Amino acid sequence: MRGTVLLFFCLLGYSIAQNVPYSWNGPGNPSQTDPSNENACLTDSATCGCCLMQKQAWRMETYFNMTMTELQRGLERAQGVLNNMRSSRSAFSVALTDTRRCFGPKDVEAVVKYQVVFINMGDGYNINTGVFTVPRSGVYVLALTAYSDSGAPGALLAACVRLRRNGIVIAALSENNAQDQEDSATLVLTTQMQAGDSVDVVLPITCFLCDDNSHYNTFTGFLLYATD
């Protein structure tokens, strides 16, 4: 009896591993009809026990094949959810420069092009244009820090930038020093955006930013949750 049970589970395990319906007639050859309808032992009362065993075996075979089908469907649904989550991942975090440099002031408003990439999951941020292109509609978190150094105590500076979406300013930072040499400011906001929207940071006229490998000027964004 123990050998029979062991053989049964070995056959069942092989069927699952091979992803094929299990059959008592051999893997890949499922029964199509109830053996009780065709088995000759039905005409012989002496073999009634054999008949009942075959009938139960057919029922178990049908049940296990149905169960495996449902498991396969569940696996496919879970895989679809996982793929959807992976395609939703979008995050970037960049800094202005790795070397001691100042940008501005300029005669015209200019896009700030952050050159140091900490993370760019989904490749939404373009260091050549300074633009983050929204890959998927949803709610995003955006964070921006602006820092500048006037170079000497008492010298005036204006650390100011503007955050834009599709060319329209949605938030701004402005810090004018009066008594110290350095100033910085930070903003964090949550906003809903559509796939294809563009987000950038611009440096207004008369403003300038200074940075080095300490990365005082950063621009960060990530998808909080998708809406499509």
pLDDT at residue 210 in the model: 86
Q: What is the mean pLDDT of residues 187-203?
A: 95
Query: Where residue 9 falls among pLDDT bands split at 50, 70, 90?
Result: very low
Query: Where residue 202 falls among pLDDT bands split at 50, 70, 90?
Result: very high
Higher confidence at residue 194 or residue 21? Answer: 194
For a pLDDT cut of 70, what percent of the chain falls above it? 67
Domain harbouring 174, CATH code: 2.60.120.40
Residues 182 and 115 in one domain: yes
Among 31, 63, 87, the domain boundary falls at 87
Q: 187 vs 89, 122, 131, 161, 182, CA distance in Å?
A: 23, 23, 18, 11, 18
Residues 54 and 138 in one domain: no
Residues 100 and 181 in one domain: yes
Higher confidence at residue 52 or residue 160? Answer: 160
Classified as helix, coil or strand, 118 is strand
Extract the tokens encoding 118.
């900490």
Q: What DSSP letter does each residue of 159-173 carry, written as one string?
A: EEEEEEETTEEEEEE
What distance, in Å, lies between the first and last C-alpha atoms of the chain? Answer: 57
**pLDDT above 70 for 11:** no
Higher confidence at residue 162 or residue 88? Answer: 162
Total domains in the chain come to 2
Q: What is the pLDDT of residues 102-122, one digit of tens each?
A: 887 788 899 999 999 999 998
Higher confidence at residue 50 or residue 140? Answer: 140
Q: What is the pLDDT of residues 133-180, one digit of tens each?
A: 999 999 999 999 988 876 555 556 667 899 999 999 999 987 765 555
